[in-house]
Amino acid sequence: MKRFPQFCFLLLLSLSAFALDEGHVRYVGGTVPSVTAGVIGRLDTTSATALTFEHAGNKVEIPYASIESYEYSKDVTRHLGVLPAIAVGLVKMRRHSHYFSISYRTETGGPAQIVVLEVPKDMPRTLRAILNTRAPGTCRCHSTTNPH
């Protein structure tokens, strides 16, 4: 029992280590062959015609006109179990991960592509507003929260 406070402290440190920095986005997965899952980059929303994910000198452009749908979801990052969750909950709020799944067609009319991005906690409201404005009518917008 003497080591329980040390365990809680280390647990809190490890949970904070996985947070995305301000402005960074993680490519979680999808069908884009040139991007590896787990790559961290930046999302450029300044263009009026395309959403761009820039990473390690490369970029993936998603034309707003080609977006068929997107989905926003929020999930608890770590499932700790009852006792650790209570201990962490007394000291710190549980961290949530925020995801956008964007389905689009390439300009050549090929098969549908999907991109799943993890975004920082302050970006979902802005990104949803941008997608609603620049890709209206083509989006079937969904918003889900996973209770797990």
Judged against a pLDDT cut of 70, whether residue 94 lies above it is answered with no
pLDDT band, very low/low/confident/very high, at 17 (cuts 50, 70, 90): very low
**Each residue of 116-144: pLDDT tens digit?**
999 998 999 999 999 999 988 766 655 66
For residue 57, the model assigns a pLDDT of: 87
**Each residue of 30-82: pLDDT tens digit?**
999 889 999 999 999 999 999 999 999 899 999 998 999 999 988 865 545 55
For residue 12, the model assigns a pLDDT of: 40
Buried/exposed code over 99-120 (b: 16+ C-beta within 10 A; e: otherwise): bbbbbbeeeeeeeebebbbbbb
| Distances in whole angstroms, Cα of residue 84 to Cα of each of 6, 91, 116 | 13, 11, 30
Between helices 4-16 and 82-91, what is the axis angle to 10°? Answer: 80
Domains located in the chain, CATH noted: 20-79+96-145 (2.30.29.30)
Average pLDDT estimate for 96-112: 85
Q: Is 44 helix (H, G, I), strand (E, B) or coil?
A: strand
